[in-house]
Amino acid sequence: MNLRISRRAALLGLGTLPLATPAFAQGAPIKVGVLHSLSGTMAISETALRDTVLMMLEWQNSQGGIGGRRLEAVVVDPASNWPLFAEKARELLQVHRVDVSFGCWTSVSRKSVLPVYEELNGLLFYPVQYEGEEESRNIFYTGAAPNQQAIPAVEYLLGPDGGEAQRIVLLGTDYVYPRTTNRILRGFLNSKGITNADIMEEYTPFGHSDWQGIVARVKRFAGEGKKTAIVSTINGDANVPFYRELGNQGIKAEDIPCVAFSVGEEELAGIDTRPLVGHLAAWNYFMSVDAPANRDFVGMWRNYIKNPRRVTNDPMEATLIGFKMWAQAVAKAGTTSVDAVRTAMIGQKVAAPSGYESEMKANHHLTKPVMIGEIQADGQFSIVSKTPTAIAAENWSPFIPENANRRRG
Amino acid sequence: MNRLIRWLLLLLLLAALPARAQDFDALVSGLAGGFAQQAEAVERLGSLGDPRALPLLRALSESRLMRAEGGGVRVAPNGATPSGPEVIRINNRVRVALRGALGRLQLVSPDPAERLVAADGLLRARSAEDIPLLETALARESVPRIRDRMDLALGAARLGSSDPAVRREGVAALGATASPEARAVLLSALGTDEELAPAVDAAVAAIDRRLALRHAAETAFQGLSLGSVLLLAALGLAVTFGVMGVINMAHGEFVMLGAYTTVVVQEALRASPTLAPWSLPLAIPAAFLVTAAVGAAMERGLIRHLYGRPLETLLLTFGVGMVLQQVVRLVFGAQNREVISPPWMQGTLALPFDVTVTQNRAWIILFSLAVLACTFAAMRLTRFGLEMRAVVQNRRIAATMGIRTGRVDALTFAFGSGIAGLAGVALSQIDNVSPNLGTGYIIDSFMVVVFGGVGSLLGTLIGAFTLGVMNKLLEPWAGAVLAKVAVLVGIMLFIQRRPKGLFALKGRAAES
């Protein structure tokens, strides 16, 4: 262990010299950090992401690693505890000296580790859709920005296929992602002529389980004579009792459709979805996508996890895209040095399981297609709307006025 | 006879329409088109009134309609779940159209359940074209529940009429009900019809008066439901902390163990078709025994060495709690476990005055009261309860009377832990079964016991329900997060005034 670290330290020291590709031949393994919660309220969502990174790592090693160097995983458990995320990130970068990390789900955890990655010049791939209003040279965002998920989803609800909603309920878990997203959505809805009187906004703590009052209030809000829809930014395992309550109180998708931004196939795996048919989710990928790249992905995942019934979801796909892009960038740069990889990342393209080609843009965000799916009785999504092409991310939203000047072009 | 009339009615409907065979076929092939085309085809098939459309539309709504080769459609047999690209998929827009169309076609169905669904569908479709259809159906309907629904649907349909007199009639009919749906229909008409506005306003106000009581009842139910959860979580603590004076920070973990016992019992019985539906009732004794055994082991092995040293007991039980959490995490994994709710715990229950409550919550309220009654009976009516109270009041004298106080201590602690396990069975139905399940309830449990008065079962009962109802009354004003904060602040102030809680008791706990 000591020997390996000192060898890496030596390599780092040489990093300032013009180093040719044969540096790979040294054969020291490339270290890949995995920073996902394996316990606590977010484990329901994040455990599968750890497995996805490990699967991709195994696959890359079976291809001979990158430039002849093997990949090695360092897995830590930040336990859904936001300050612990920062400590574990520091541990990954300073003790384990990882070359790259894949991690975080909630925005609060990303905000917690961001200063650490910037201070120590690390590299983090963040695979989940988020609220935007952020751009770090040390983070690559492979999930969707609001214009690639939240806004098109609400636009769908307002359109003829979504039921022409005139009132919107914004339900969320109480932290930065739902609050910022809902602020953007409120701006968007106002611009579409929906006044604040027709918007209800409520927040609950992480892991909230008593939804009866809120669901009853939503029902009452919807009973004011205007077509109503729910936009849910509820995160983590609170979704299970929430959907159970929706089903128990008989809220049908035909009456009050609910579109969720953090509920995918993995979260639905623990719920009886028959009462929920027709409720929606917006993502950039669904397991039900009919594309050869997706069939490979699903097959590879089920093979790796040794369970023919396991599901794939959007953040897993985003992890896969990020991993492949990073591997391509390392191969192109000929080194794992963060600065070189960062430059090589821009413009990388991957044929994604979504059936579209994703490209990394200069703002560290991907181009992605937007898909809207309806929940089916078998826990899968039926895709009812998708954009014809992958669209570029606007990480600085026009609906947040104070950050509008930071937008590029 | 009735049946004959139905068929005659259908025939009459058919005869009234011109023969539109080609039209029908064209519409049917439209069912396999894009969502917008599908919705239109469904709507027109519904208004065509052709009985041949019924099985097709029903199949479409149950995703049993398939694309046939050569452009047509075919129906998969009833109960089948076909898959693949030939299955015609629908979206919400088509579902809404289907509800109206099926409503029109099924309104004369011999099956009362179908007629009810049909009336519901027409209520939501709100089309003036349905007025004659609804009037004839209503004239022959005998089931009161369906009649009510049809009345509502007729009122809503009349509101869509072009004749102001008919619309006024609709407003009057809807205003005479106590239905939130009627209120929604009236309010939606408000925007489009200036002339009727005063009548609509009056009708809405009338409905609101009738609904006020129902809303109050529903809020009260939600409060009772939260209270019952608090009661279940706190009852075990009322025994271990309230009676014995042991500050048991691992109490939440006992609740969690009870929930995991439920999972294990369910998984063990899943294969057996006779026992599987009873897995939840069977989990009740299992959870009690498992947690009671763990509690007894903990009391005999650890806690009894620390009697009279509250700080050490607190730290010790806190540590035991963490150990239990990690053990469960190692054995079952960190992921949440799925618990199946039996059918009798799903959906809503209609009480008198149209108050609807969710089944699972109603059962948990009953369960919590049953557990309270059993606890009370065990403490007041049994030999064990007598010995327990004797030891609490005066350990030395109890010992001189021949009571084995050590054994009584162990049994009391086991009993309290077992009740925590019962809480776990109930919570597995409404919360996520994860290793952290207990941590969310430990604060609430102590809160209830301290608020109600340490050592008093009656205090625990009243404390739990007071806190539950207070929380739910505050929630609409303050939101879920602030309501909880407000309740905590309220308790802090209350404890300042009455340090011994609502019902103070005498005994070992009170003396120390």
Which segments within B281-340 are labelled E, that is strand?
Answer: none
Check CB contact under 8 Å for B347 and A250.
Answer: yes
Check CB contact under 8 Å for A254 and B188.
Answer: no
Chain B residues in contact with A270 by the CB 8 A cut-off are: 336, 338
Which of A160, A226, A254 minimises the CB distance to B99?
A: A254
- Judged by a CB distance cut-off of 8 A, whether residue A47 touches chain B is yes
Q: Is A173 helix (H, G, I), strand (E, B) or coil?
A: strand
| Residues counted in chain B | 512
Neighbours of A244 (CB within 10 A): 22
| Rounded Cα gap, residues B480 and A208, in angstroms | 9
Which of A207, A217, A278 minimises the CB distance to B95?
A: A278
| Rounded Cα gap, residues B270 and B277, in angstroms | 9
DSSP secondary structure string for all residues of B380-395: HHSHHHHHHHHHHH-H
Chain A residues in contact with B233 by the CB 8 A cut-off are: none
Chain B residues in contact with A286 by the CB 8 A cut-off are: none
Residues B271 and B192 occupy one common structural domain: no
Chain B residues in contact with A257 by the CB 8 A cut-off are: 92
CA atoms within 13 A on the CB side of B430: 27
Residues B225 and B197 occupy one common structural domain: no
For residue B337, the enclosing domain spans 213-511
| Rounded Cα gap, residues B336 and A43, in angstroms | 8
Which of B338, B347, B432 minimises the CB distance to A248?
A: B347
Closest alpha carbon within chain A to B332: A39
Which of A41, A212, A226 minimises the CB distance to B361?
A: A212
Domain extent listing, chain A: 2-143+292-304+313-359, 147-289+370-406
Residue of B406, B392, B408, B415 lying closest to B506 (CA atoms): B392
For residue A332, give how far its alpha carbon lies from the nearest alpha carbon of chain B (Å).
Answer: 38
Residues B428 and B296 occupy one common structural domain: yes
Check CB contact under 8 Å for A39 and B89.
Answer: no
For residue A204, give how far its alpha carbon lies from the nearest alpha carbon of chain B (Å).
Answer: 6
Residue of B17, B121, B110, B105 lying closest to B55 (CA atoms): B105
Using CA of residue A399, residue A400, residue A404, residue A408, what is the dihedral sign?
Answer: negative
Q: Which amino acid is at A310?
A: R
Torsion, CA A376, CA A381, CA A382, CA A387, rounded to 10: 160
Q: Is B195 helix (H, G, I), strand (E, B) or coil?
A: coil
Which segments within A247-300 are labelled E, that is strand?
Answer: 258-260, 280-283
Cβ contacts of B140-147, under 8 Å, gap ≥ 24: B140/B2, B140/B5, B141/B115, B143/B112, B143/B115, B143/B116, B145/B116, B146/B112, B146/B115, B146/B116, B146/B119
DSSP secondary structure string for all residues of B83-120: -STTBPP--HHHHHHHHHHHHHHHTT-S-HHHHHHHHH
Q: Which amino acid is at B172?
A: A
Q: Is A121 helix (H, G, I), strand (E, B) or coil?
A: coil
Element (H, E) at B324: helix B310-332
Chain B residues in contact with A162 by the CB 8 A cut-off are: 92-93
Residues B336 and B363 occupy one common structural domain: yes
B433-449 burial, b if ≥16 CB within 10 A, otherwise e? bbbbbbbbbbebbbbbb
Chain A residues in contact with B435 by the CB 8 A cut-off are: 39
Residues B218 and B339 occupy one common structural domain: yes
User: Do the beta carbons of residue B48 and residue B23 sit within 8 Å?
Assistant: yes
Residues of A numbered 200-229 whose beta carbons fall under 8 angstroms of chain B's beta carbons: which are they?
202-205, 207-210, 212-214, 216-217, 219-220, 222-226
Check CB contact under 8 Å for B91 and A278.
Answer: yes
| Rounded Cα gap, residues A44 and B432, in angstroms | 10
| Rounded Cα gap, residues A288 and A294, in angstroms | 9
β-pair partners for B356: B350
Fold match flag (A2-143+292-304+313-359 vs A147-289+370-406): yes
| Rounded Cα gap, residues B259 and A395, in angstroms | 43
User: Do the beta carbons of residue B458 and residue B503 sit within 8 Å?
Assistant: yes
Alpha helices in A101-196 (DSSP H): 107-119, 150-158, 176-191
For B413, list phi and psi in degrees, rounded to 5: -65, -40
Check CB contact under 8 Å for A223 and B358.
Answer: no
Check CB contact under 8 Å for B222 and A384.
Answer: no
Check CB contact under 8 Å for B431 and A209.
Answer: yes
**Per-residue model confidence as pLDDT tens digits over A233-285:** 998 888 888 998 898 888 889 889 999 998 888 888 767 788 889 999 999 99
For residue B346, give how far its alpha carbon lies from the nearest alpha carbon of chain A (Å).
Answer: 6
A123-134 burial, b if ≥16 CB within 10 A, otherwise e? bbbbbbbbbbbb
- Judged by a CB distance cut-off of 8 A, whether residue A45 touches chain B is no
Check CB contact under 8 Å for A47 and B36.
Answer: no
For B65, list phi and psi in degrees, rounded to 5: -90, 130
A195 burial level (CB within 10 Å; 0-12, 13-18, 19+): exposed
Closest alpha carbon within chain B to A252: B92
Provide block-wise average pLDDT over 10 residues at a time, chain B (512 residues). 60 51 78 87 84 86 83 79 81 88 84 86 82 86 86 87 84 85 83 77 88 87 92 91 86 95 92 85 95 94 88 92 90 80 82 80 94 93 91 87 90 94 92 86 89 86 92 83 87 88 63 48
Closest alpha carbon within chain B to A221: B184
Q: Does domain A147-289+370-406 have CATH number 3.40.50.2300?
A: yes
Q: What pairing do the DSSP bridges indicate for beta strands B348-350 and B356-358?
A: antiparallel
Q: What is the pLDDT of residue A209?
A: 86
Write down which residue in B163, B183, B212 finishes a domain.
B212
Which of B334, B359, B481 minimises the CB distance to A39?
A: B334
Closest alpha carbon within chain A to B88: A382
Q: Which distant-in-sequence residues (6+ apart) come within 8 Å of B377 by Cβ? A: none
Three-class SS of B422-448: HHHHHHCCCCCECCCCCHHHHHHHHHH
Q: Which amino acid is at A2?
A: N
Torsion, CA A171, CA A260, CA B221, CA B419, rounded to 10: -110
Residues B473 and B493 occupy one common structural domain: yes
Pick the CATH number of A2-143+292-304+313-359 from 3.40.190.10, 3.40.50.10490, 3.40.50.970, 3.40.50.2300: 3.40.50.2300
| Rounded Cα gap, residues A42 and B477, in angstroms | 29
Which of B36, B95, B440 minimises the CB distance to A207?
A: B440
Check CB contact under 8 Å for B92 and A270.
Answer: no
Residues B146 and B229 occupy one common structural domain: no
| Rounded Cα gap, residues A205 and B413, in angstroms | 33
For residue A225, give how far its alpha carbon lies from the nearest alpha carbon of chain B (Å).
Answer: 4
Beta-carbon contacts below 8 Å between A and B: 139
Closest alpha carbon within chain A to B436: A40
Write down which residue in B162, B178, B212 finishes a domain.
B212
For residue A344, give how far its alpha carbon lies from the nearest alpha carbon of chain B (Å).
Answer: 37
| Rounded Cα gap, residues B373 and B369, in angstroms | 6
| Rounded Cα gap, residues B64 and B424, in angstroms | 41
Which of A37, A38, A254, A274 is the mutation pick for testing B, counting most B CBs within 10 A?
A254
Q: Which distant-in-sequence residues (6+ apart) come within 8 Å of A193 by Cβ? A: none
- Judged by a CB distance cut-off of 8 A, whether residue A39 touches chain B is yes
Residues B192 and B167 occupy one common structural domain: yes
Which of A36, A38, A39 is the mutation pick for testing B, counting most B CBs within 10 A?
A39
| Rounded Cα gap, residues B94 and B62, in angstroms | 12
Check CB contact under 8 Å for A384 and B35.
Answer: yes
Residues B251 and B199 occupy one common structural domain: no
Which of B187, B325, B432 is the mutation pick for testing A, counting most A CBs within 10 A?
B432
Which of A220, A249, A253 minimises the CB distance to B92?
A: A253
Check CB contact under 8 Å for A41 and B436.
Answer: yes
**Which parts of chain A sit beneath pLDDT 50?**
1-25, 409
Residues B131 and B152 occupy one common structural domain: yes
Q: Which residue has the tokens 């008409």?
A: B189
Which of B85, B346, B430 minimises the CB distance to A209?
A: B430
The number of folded domains in chain B is 2
Neighbours of A162 (CB within 10 A): 23
- Judged by a CB distance cut-off of 8 A, whether residue A307 touches chain B is no
User: Do the beta carbons of residue B263 and residue B456 sit within 8 Å?
Assistant: no
Which of A77, A210, A384 is the mutation pick for testing B, counting most B CBs within 10 A?
A210
Q: What is the pLDDT of residue A140?
A: 97
| Rounded Cα gap, residues B420 and B402, in angstroms | 30
- Chain centroid to Cα B67, Å, comes to 39
Q: Which distant-in-sequence residues (6+ apart) come within 8 Å of A381 by Cβ? A: A265, A281, A286, A287, A288, A373, A374, A375
Residues B170 and B277 occupy one common structural domain: no
CA atoms within 13 A on the CB side of B93: 21
Write down which residue in B159, B184, B212 finishes a domain.
B212
- Judged by a CB distance cut-off of 8 A, whether residue A247 touches chain B is yes
Q: What pairing do the DSSP bridges indicate for beta strands A124-126 and A100-103?
A: parallel
User: Do the beta carbons of residue B448 and residue B231 sit within 8 Å?
Assistant: yes
B93-129 burial, b if ≥16 CB within 10 A, otherwise e? bbbbbbbbbbbbbbbbbeeeebbbbbbbbbbbbbbbe
For A281, list phi and psi in degrees, rounded to 5: -140, 150
What angle do the packed helices B359-381 and B405-427 form, to 10 degrees? 170
Q: Which distant-in-sequence residues (6+ apart) come within 8 Å of B363 by Cβ? A: B344, B345, B429
Alpha helices in A35-147 (DSSP H): 43-62, 82-90, 107-119
Residue of B217, B219, B214, B170 lying closest to B192 (CA atoms): B170
Residue of A303, A254, A298 lying closest to A279 (CA atoms): A254
Q: Which residue has the tokens 């009336």?
A: B119
Chain A residues in contact with B187 by the CB 8 A cut-off are: 223-226
